[in-house]
Chain A
């Protein structure tokens, strides 16, 4: 039933580890996104993909590597985790994205990543 689902909801790990967050949408949307919400609640785009193709990489360190095996999935892999990576990561999806007619974005519940 869930439109945009992320796993896991919580992730606690040590500095230097590698971890992945998965995202799946069942809305039939073409475009998927990753956003990061920092400790001050500020939300910012990290990546967007349209039909498995990277559209936006918003100056994110290359330790972050998104992967889209198909247009319903967009996973985020993070290497060599740092303290500053602690945040809530939100996945989202929308229809279109490259057209002039923007459609609303639908968000998952977020993954809270804590680095010890």
Chain B
């Protein structure tokens, strides 16, 4: 099956810092989503981004489908950005998301 690798596995940031999270995948995909799992365990949809670039406030994401990777940018990080960030991909008519192992982010005040 498709492999999804996220890096780094852990990230500690000072409040206000910027960072980039990476997601590599091993096959062509029709769906790529970024999620934030908050400390309460909820999975929050950040982006649906099978290709191209999107921005939402301090977060933005870019997927280069031909090179099989996606990047999530966090700018001016806040303590509320702490949690685990997951990348998940789906092949055409795959009927399932395959998740990466996540990046655990801790933003310190």
Which A residues lie at the B interface, using CB under 8 A? 31, 33, 35, 41-45, 48, 50, 55-56, 58, 88, 90, 92, 97-107, 109-110, 112
Interface digits, B84-108 against A, CB 8 Å rule (1 contact, 0 not)?
Answer: 1010101011111111011000000
Q: What are the residues of chain A within 8 A of B96 when measuring CB–CB?
A: 33, 45, 48, 56, 58
Q: A39 to B1, alpha carbons, bound, how many Å? A: 22
Q: Give the A-binding residues of B (Cβ under 8 A).
A: 30-31, 33, 35, 37, 41-43, 45, 48, 50, 84, 86, 88, 90, 92-99, 101-102
Contact of A41 among B31, B37, B88 (CB under 8 A): B37
Q: Across the interface, name the chain B residue whose C-beta is closest to A55.
A: B95
CA distance A50 to B96 in the complex (A): 11
Q: A45, B93: Cβ atoms under 8 Å?
A: no
Q: Verify B99–A102 contact, CB threshold 8 A.
A: no
CB pair A104 B43 closer than 8 Å: no
Answer whether A112 and B48 are a contact pair too, CB < 8 Å, given A45-B97, A99-B93.
no
Task: Give the shortest distance, in Å, between A78 (CB) and chain B (any CB).
Answer: 19
B99 to chain A, nearest CB (A): 4
- Find the B residue at minimum CB distance from A43: B99
- How far, in whole Å, are A99 and B109 apart by their CA atoms in the complex? 46
Q: Is the CB of A104 within 8 A of B31?
A: yes
- 8 Å CB contact of B84 from A41, A45, A110: A41
- Evaluate contact between B93 and A100: CB separation under 8 angstroms: yes
Q: If the complex has contacts A33-B96, A42-B101, are A109 and B42 also in contact, measured as CB distance less than 8 A? A: yes
Q: Among the interface residues B30, B96, B99, which one has the most CB atoms of the partner chain A within 10 A?
A: B96
